[in-house]
Every structure is written in structure tokens, then in C-alpha cells.
Structure 1
Amino acid sequence: MSSSPSAASSDSSHLVAEFRTEFGKGFARRARKAGKIPAVLYGHGTDPRHLALNAREFARAIKAGANTVLHLTLPDGEALALPKSVVKHPLRDYVEHIDLILVRRGERVTVDVPVIVTGEAAPGSLVLTDLNTLSLEADALEIPDSVEVSVEGLAVGTQVLAGAVVLTGGTTLVTDPEALVVAVQAAPTADELSAETEAVEAELGVERDLPEDEQAAADAEKSDS
């Protein structure tokens, strides 16, 4: 149960940002055609700054993780920023807008970090993940890509709570330590799965097609009656 440091300091996180003075859907369309993404940078009591980022560079940067700190080169200097909101088009595969928050070296930030479940629980068990992310407080430049929860050999009935997840690198837990992260339950039998499926189908009014021999018998019974 460990966490690995983010690749925030890699070259891929360095982006050149332009200031923009245009807004609205018309500008957004023109920016997209030019390979740019509209963005807003704010935080630490500063006035919001409206930017345009290179779409390919941004996509390459966040491959390291959604919590990658971006090293921005602005027309008036350098800045570190954390993506707060990345708005994607609901149907097409492109980013429409990005909200960025200024961060400083040594500053601690609260972020949601993915939970990765590893290992195999005891035979005949089923592992259920209740929380897909944990809220953590971490140094802005040392945000983990993920936290691992090992279920290797865990018996049926075992529960892993947030407070039991081992964190490293000075990261601290913000999520309620009593929150359930992973539960190991007995795997349902084939009969239990079938009964559950039939119950759902009955509730939805779904009628199954009978096997040919059973259907023929049912049809014969109807004709006799």
C-alpha cells in the first residue's frame, strides 16, 4: 500500500501560455482550429488571467495524471498551476476550457487521488471498491499519481478503511478515516446470480426466450387449452 510521486517536474509539464483578450464561442472555435485551449488562471488573491494553451502540449502534460502541476511560461514571467477543472465536450474528444489554480513551491494543496486496488483476495471472494479516490493533502510538487490498496490474500469479510491506507512522502489524509474504501465479500454462486437476474428482469417486465423444446411444449399446451 504505497504511493508514487507525480511526474510534475518532468519537461512535459512545461507549457507556454499566451494572454488572450477575446472571449465567447466564436473565439473558442477559432482557438480550437488553431490548436489552442481557452484557460483561466487564478488564485492567491490575484486577478484572473485569461490564457490560451497549446492543446497538444496540455494533453501530453496531463498524461502524467490529472494532478500534474504545470510549469507555465507567461508573457510576464513564470508560474506554477494545478488544473482545477478540465471541461471536455460531451460528445467530441476535445477540451473546451480549463480552470487553473496558482500554486507555490512548498505549498500544500488538497487533491483527489485515484485508488488502485492490487493483488488477489482469498479464493471464492469478490472485491468491491467503495471509493475510487481519496482526498489528500500534499506538497504541490509531490502529489502522488495514485494510492495503492493491496487485497492480496484478504479473507471474506475484510474491510479496508481510508485510515488504514498507507501514505508516503508527507501526504496526509483528508477523507474521513472511517470511510470504507474496499470490501471483500463472498462471491455469489451461479444460482444466486441467476435468481438475481430473473428478479431484475421480472421487475423490468423482460420476458426470456425459452429453449426450442420448452417453447414447443408451451405452444402445444396453449393450443390444447
Structure 2
Amino acid sequence: MANYQLTVEKRTGTGKAYARQLRATGKIPAIVYGSGQEAVKLMVDTREAARAVAAVGSLINLDVEGESKTVLIKEIHSDPVRGDLLHLDFHEIDLTKTLEITVPIRVVGEENRPSDGGVVTTLLWEVEVSCLPTDIPEFIEVDVSELELDNVINVDELILPAGVEILEEPDEAVVKVDIPSLELEEEVAEEEELADEELAEEEPAEGEEAEETDEEEATEE
């Protein structure tokens, strides 16, 4: 995964009033934590911050007034109504230590599946993995081109890049091919019809039941 480049500046101001003034100039406040150092308060261009958010999950090379820091976006603060970016929290990482991170699932090959009317359903949209920061995959690809009707691909069947360990349960379903709803309805209807026929065979007719009762009474007399 390619690193995203982001230039930021240090700031000294704090508080809501300062943040509003900063946003009025086209910038938002940010902060970077980690590596056993004191947190560094930053300000970043709002448009550049939005691009960085779009690349969330990617390593970001922060240029802090000439000093380079490798970070990940830890938290995104947005306006709950308008959705505007308000603040970013970065976490500085050690490139020599493994980390745990969420990676999206990308399903491919659906258009090459057999024409059986099956519906491909994604059950797990992202997975937690452990790897070195330099080995973080952009996504994990799941090929369903040969997945047959009513079959499932589980976590333990995923093909992972070198150096990446998955942290989800091995038997958790990732994607499946559902039987078309029309076929399901027909199967249910057939099962119900068969059940009705079996029930009808087991229940004696009213005349037969009455006749058997009369015979039993006559025998008792």
C-alpha cells in the first residue's frame, strides 16, 4: 500500500473559539500521539484532510514543518448534522512493530459465475488483521467466480498477502451464493404439499372412523 503524503503545521491555540477561527481560514485542528513522545498539536488544510480521510487505513507520511512522521488516522471527528470535518487524531507508529488494523473485503468475479441465478451476498465487509505497518494491504480480495450455488467462503479460505495474519474466527462466513428466492419458494411449496399429503394419509376419513367406533362398541357388548 502506497503511503499518503500530508503537509501540516504546528499550532499553539486550543479551545472551541480557536477551532472556529481556524476552520474559517480553511483549516482544521489535528493532533498526533504515539512513540512515547508528547502529543503534538497540528493544523491541516481542510481539503487535504478530506483526501487523507478518503485514504483511511493507509500509512500517512506527515511533514510537520520539515520533520517526518509516519502515522495512521486514529479518529475522525465530524459535524453530526453537516458531516463537515472538525478534527483529526493521528497515531504515530513504529515501522518495526506489528499492529492490528481493519482491512476491507473486496469481492470480485461475480460476473464470471455460472448462470444459475444465484445471488452473491457479502456477509463480512472487513476483517481485522495483524501485520507490520509496511505490509498493510489496501484490501483483501475474494474471488467468487467458481463459487457454486448455496456455497460459502469462510475466513480460513481467504488468500492473504505475505506477512499478514487474520484475527477473525476461521469458520466465520465472508461471502455466500444464495439460492434464488423463486426456487426457495418452490421448494417450500413442495415440502408443504408433501407434508399435507402425508398428513392426509395418516388421518382416517370420518366414515371410516365412525365405522371403527361402532365395531368396537359392538364387540364390547
Letter in 1 for 2:121: L
2:61 to 71, 91, 96: 71
Runs of 4+ in 1 over 4 A off after TM superposition: none
Structure 2 partner of 1:81: 71
2:181 to 188, 205, 217: 188
Q: Which moved more, 1:159-168 or 1:82-91?
A: 82-91
2:169 to 169, 176, 180: 176
Counterpart CA distance in 2 for 1:104 and 1:191 is: 52
1:14 aligns with 2:5: yes
Structure 1 partner of 2:146: 153
Of structures 1 and 2, the one scoring higher in RCO (CA 8 A, sep 6+) is 1
Counterpart CA distance in 1 for 2:175 and 2:24 is: 44
Structure 2 partner of 1:47: 38
Do 2:119 and 2:179's aligned partners in 1 also have CA atoms closer than 8 Å? yes
**Between Structure 1 and Structure 2, whose CA radius of gyration is higher?**
2
Structure 1 partner of 2:201: none
1:128 to 116, 121, 124: 121
What SS class does the counterpart of residue 139 from structure 2 fall into?
strand
Counterpart CA distance in 2 for 1:87 and 1:163 is: 35
Change (3 A) 1:187 1:81: same
Do 2:35 and 2:94's aligned partners in 1 also have CA atoms closer than 8 Å? no
What SS class does the counterpart of residue 98 from structure 1 fall into?
strand
Structure 2 partner of 1:200: none
Superposed displacement of residue 16, structure 1: 2.2
**Matched positions, count:** 182
Counterpart CA distance in 2 for 1:189 and 1:105 is: 53
Q: For structure 1, list consecutive stretches of 5 or more residues without a partner in the other structure.
A: 1-5, 193-225
2:48 to 44, 54, 57: 57
What SS class does the counterpart of residue 146 from structure 2 fall into?
coil
Change (3 A) 1:190 1:179: closer
Quick one: percent identity of the two aligned structures?
29
Change (3 A) 1:21 1:71: same
Query: What's the TM-score, normalizing by structure 2?
Result: 0.74
Counterpart CA distance in 1 for 2:74 and 2:32 is: 10
Do 2:50 and 2:85's aligned partners in 1 also have CA atoms closer than 8 Å? no
Query: What's the TM-score, normalizing by structure 1?
Result: 0.73
Change (3 A) 1:190 1:96: farther
Change (3 A) 1:33 1:184: same
Do 1:138 and 1:170's aligned partners in 2 also have CA atoms closer than 8 Å? yes
Partner deviation per Cα, 1:113-163 (whole Å, 9 max, x = no partner):
111111124422111111110111122133211111111131122111111
Counterpart CA distance in 2 for 1:34 and 1:169 is: 44
Letter in 1 for 2:174: V
Q: For structure 2, list consecutive stretches of 5 or more residues without a partner in the other structure.
A: 186-221
What SS class does the counterpart of residue 189 from structure 1 fall into?
helix
Richer in helix (by share): 2
Counterpart CA distance in 1 for 2:125 and 2:74 is: 18
What SS class does the counterpart of residue 39 from structure 2 fall into?
strand
Root-mean-square deviation (CA, aligned residues, Å) is 2.1
What SS class does the counterpart of residue 85 from structure 1 fall into?
strand
1:90 aligns with 2:83: no
